Amino acid sequence: MKAQLLLLLELQNIDSSVQELRAKINSLPEKLTPAKNDLAKLEAILQEEKDRLAETESWRKELESIIQTEEEAIKKAKAKVQSAKSSKDYSAANRELENKRKSKSEREDDLLKMMEAIEKSRAEMESHDKDIKALREHLTAEEESIRAEIAVLEPKAEKRAAGRDEVLNQIQPGLLKRYNHIMKKRAYALAPVVDGVCRGCHMQVPPQLNNILARLDSIETCPRCYRMLYRQDILEDAGE
């Protein structure tokens, strides 16, 4: 049974190594998630700014058209003032002219404020655009680095798993079935017993079970975590 135990331990070492390498390979792309989320947020902000700027530019053109219309109205109001026949007509035409001038002035103030807002928006968009480009460059570099690291880890995982079938073929079917069943539920299937304690769940094993393990006649299961147990000290003594 010692030979079977050693084969199971070798299988567990292989599986643990491969799982560790695979976990590392799978986790590498996840490192980019925060940066990708930041990029998506910045791109969304930039798009919103572009949409707002397009609306503002449209309103600016409309306002310029209104100002142009009011300039024509001012010319007509001036003509009325000049052609007034009476003081009453003159006063009415003059009030109209002043109102048109006031309205045009207000529109021009609005246009000036709008132009300032447009310039500010453009500056912010330019800043965000630079941030996006820098972040994209960073992501590209990180992706290349990760691809290179994966290219190194993949062969290691394949090499570590290469001898697995050979070990599997030497393990008794019943033991292998138990091993696979435990591995589906636990991170590892075999746990050493040291000083009477299962290192898998840190439970004190019954003295009788501890004595059975010392004989290396069978592979027993922990009553608590159900891992396959072995006495570390006995196994080392047997190896010597």
Report residue 104's pLDDT band, with 50, 70 and 90 as the boundaries. very high
CA proximity to 9, closest of 175, 237, 208, 139: 175
pLDDT in tens, 146-190: 999 999 999 999 999 998 999 999 999 999 999 999 999 998 999
Q: CB of 97 within 8 A of CB of 74?
A: yes
Average pLDDT of every residue of the chain: 93
Structural domain 25-161, CATH architecture: Orthogonal Bundle (1.10)
Mean per-residue pLDDT, 46-71: 94
Calculate the alpha carbon distances from 109 to 12, 60, 101, 205 in Å: 78, 12, 12, 87
Q: With 80 as the cut, is the pLDDT of residue 240 above it?
A: no
Question: Which pLDDT band holds residue 20 (cuts at 50, 70, 90)?
Answer: very high
Residue range 39-57: mean pLDDT, rounded: 94
Overall average pLDDT of the 20-39 stretch: 93
Q: According to the model, what pLDDT value does residue 238 have?
A: 56
User: How far is residue 95's CA from residue 50's CA, in Å, rounded to a whole number?
Assistant: 42
What's the pLDDT at 105? 94
Domain boundaries of the chain, sorted by first residue = 25-161, 172-240
Whether pLDDT at 111 is above 80:
yes
Q: How confident is the model at residue 4 (pLDDT cuts 50, 70, 90)?
A: very high
d(CA 15, CA 30): 23
Residue 239 has pLDDT above 70, yes or no: no
